[in-house]
Amino acid sequence: MAEHDIMKYKDDAVDLSKFTEEGQVRELQGKVAKVITVVGILWALFHFYTLGAGALTASLQRSIHLSVAVALCFLYFPPSKDEAAFKKLPFYDIIFALAGFVSIIYIFIFFEDLVFRIGNPTPTDIIMGVITVLVILETARRAFGKVLPIVTIVFLAYSFLGPYIPGELGHRGYRLTRVIDHLYLTNEGIFGIPVGVSATFVFGFVLFGCFFQEAGAGLYLVKLSYAALGRFRGGPAKAAVMASGFLGSIVGSSVANTAITGSLTIPVMKKAGFSPEVAGGVETAASTNGQFLPPVMGAAAFIMAEFTGIPYLQIIGYAALPAVISYVAILAVVHLQAAKTGMKPMPKEEIPPFWATLLEGIHFWIPIIVLLYYLIIRRITPLFAAYYSIWTIIGIFLILKAYSSYKLSRQEKVTLKDAAIEEFRSLWTLFFTSLDNAAKGMAGIAVACACAGIIVGVVTLTGLGLRMTLFIAVLAKESLLVLLIMAAGMSIILGMGLPTTAKYVVMATLVAPAVLYVDPSIPVVAVHLFILYYAILADDTPPVGVAAYAAAAIARSDPIKTGLLGFKFDLAAFLLPFMFVYNPSLLLIDTTWYQAILISATSLFGIYCFAAVIQRWLFTKLRLWEQAILLAISISMVWPNYLSDVIGITVFLLIYFNQRRIKAREDALEISHVEA
């Protein structure tokens, strides 16, 4: 299928460029818009430079990163969500942007003096610190809504109100000077690990993802997915899952993934017979789960490496198999959805030839190979790996444009010089558009990380972490299963307002120590991946799943229903985190190849049974007793052993053949009715 054959399904009325991970950005015109774009590009260029040249001293790098991020958030995000607010930039927002920038760049300018004033701040330090906290809270509200700043304020209030809190959670309380000193002047608060990771690793991989998608990889991966899966039942939806998995592993942003792949896959799914809500829900689930997939895994994987002390390369190795299984789980639910609703494969004439499509964009795999080569073979830092991979994309694009210029000149339509000028303009467009998109994507992430830093700072200042560990362990009666269920529930509840990064930081700070306290034998990475999985699973939970809103805008569907269906399609992987906590061999920890194959097979089997329960369908509608048995089988796979495996497979086969028998009888009755 030619490129225009896919592109014809795209709904051009949907402006996808205005969506970021945080939501809709202002649509400004004229000189003001150009100035904001230039600021964002210069900010991204600074991070691109430090990827290769090396980051500055921690406080200097982080203060530059956060100061511009806060200023850009005031310029990108209006104070309200009224439609008119996105068309104008009030003068007071420029003042707020300057105030936020000055209060944070103050750390950079007076760094040498401030080093000697930690513990004894001046009144000016306190004022700047208070302004910084206030602008972070306001920009978080604009970017993410009310929940994130409210949670942050609750933690801030805890640092002052300790003497008034009864029981084990009470403490002696702290004065404003002590709180601001700890949060603002040290690297234990605002400028702590979350902002540090945002200013280095995360920005580098977001840049890589922006260059990758701007070079045209999104369309190529969608076409390749149609070529691979279009001939199967429900092919467009399965292709959407596959394409979102490919792209999500690089982009690391659920909204960007939804916008890029969804603009092409959702219209095709609707054309194939899926309802708008189902089409949007499939894309939402598949795009959100992209944060599970190495090598990027969103911002949280890099923060996890800093929190746990486990090298990033090891973390992505542990996460690889569960990530693949999670996508197989979505494919299972989509397959059963297609079977239940009678979906057909794509028309043959609309399916691209697989090998021709693969070779057409084979150059898109080169930057990924370069990235993996530097990460796995050379074992250099992720920063340099991302840096070299970005230059690889630019180099490949340059070669392709040079070849295109030569072809145009050979056709004698234009001179070689004119062709080269025209083609190389697109290279500059690629470069600066990628930088601008990275700035829009990173501004809100930096603010979310700053809020997470405030929360972590309060926890370390007050000793809340140890208190919460004991409190949660007692509340769960030191039962690991109860504690894990509580952690999953807390993650999903927090997911109704917190971005993934902040949510992971809160849970990793307060809940992970409690789990390890109850059962110290569990690998640390298993606990943190458990928390991350449910943090991501909550991202498409209504009423605030931004990916669902982006998908609904493309599908012309109800965003709440779209989010609920997205959560339903995600739900098949709900058991997966329990599986790798109780059986860490799923993370390939101290596992032989034979054990890895066996645990993969049992996990896939259990998740497919759970998918059938969710859809209430195998070959035909499941009866309640069949659902109950399949649910029991899927739960038994959390604690797999040879006996449970044999019993589970045997009982499943009985249900399987019974379903086939019922389906054959239904088909025969349907044929007899048609003939009559």
* Residue where the block lists tokens 């498409």: 540
In the prediction, which pLDDT does 12 show? 40
In the prediction, which pLDDT does 13 show? 38
Higher local confidence (pLDDT), 544 or 134: 134
Q: Are the C-beta atoms of 207 and 434 separated by less than 8 Å?
A: yes
pLDDT surpasses 80 at 89: yes
163-168 long-range Cβ contacts below 8 angstroms, 24+ apart = 168/467, 168/470, 168/471
* Residue where the block lists tokens 């009985």: 654
Q: Are the C-beta atoms of 137 and 96 separated by less than 8 Å?
A: no
Q: What share of the chain is helix, strand, coil (3-state, %, to 5)?
A: 80, 0, 20
**What are the Cα distances from residue 522, in Å, to 480, 514, 585, 645?**
10, 12, 11, 23
Could you report the per-residue pLDDT of 591-631, keeping only the tens digit for each?
Answer: 888 888 888 888 899 999 999 999 999 999 999 999 999 99
Higher local confidence (pLDDT), 329 or 405: 329
User: What is the mean predicted confidence (pLDDT) over 19-31?
Assistant: 72
Per-position b or e across 54-93, b if 16+ CB within 10 A of its CB? ebbebbbbbbbbbbbbbbbbbbbbbeeeeeebbeebeeeb
Could you report the per-residue pLDDT of 219-273, keeping only the tens digit for each?
Answer: 888 899 989 998 888 888 898 898 888 887 777 677 778 887 888 889 888 887 8
Q: How far apart are CA 246 and CA 250, in angstroms?
A: 7
Q: How far apart are CA 241 and CA 338, in angstroms?
A: 13
In the prediction, which pLDDT does 22 show? 52
pLDDT surpasses 60 at 393: yes
Could you report the per-residue pLDDT of 442-461, keeping only the tens digit for each?
Answer: 999 899 999 999 999 999 99
pLDDT surpasses 90 at 152: yes
Percentage of the chain lying above the pLDDT 90 cut: 39
**What are the Cα distances from residue 73, in Å, to 34, 382, 612, 643?**
16, 27, 44, 56
DSSP assignment letter at 117? T
Which amino acid belongs to residue 493? I
How many other CB atoms are found less than 10 A from the CB of residue 672?
9
In the prediction, which pLDDT does 8 show? 52
Percentage of the chain lying above the pLDDT 70 cut: 92
* Residue where the block lists tokens 């090396």: 54
pLDDT surpasses 80 at 531: yes
Could you report the per-residue pLDDT of 260-280, keeping only the tens digit for each?
Answer: 788 888 988 888 788 899 999
How many other CB atoms are found less than 10 A from the CB of residue 424?
14
Cα angle for residues 487, 492, 493 (degrees, 5° grid): 95
What separation, in Å, do the N-terminal and C-terminal C-alpha atoms of the chain show?
Answer: 41
Higher local confidence (pLDDT), 418 or 65: 65
In the prediction, which pLDDT does 9 show? 46
Cα angle for residues 458, 463, 464 (degrees, 5° grid): 70
**What are the Cα distances from residue 238, in Å, to 219, 231, 288, 327?**
16, 10, 15, 10
In the prediction, which pLDDT does 537 show? 76
* Residue where the block lists tokens 């000193």: 181
Q: How far apart are CA 431 and CA 435, in angstroms?
A: 6
pLDDT surpasses 60 at 302: yes
Q: How far apart are CA 101 and CA 98, in angstroms?
A: 5
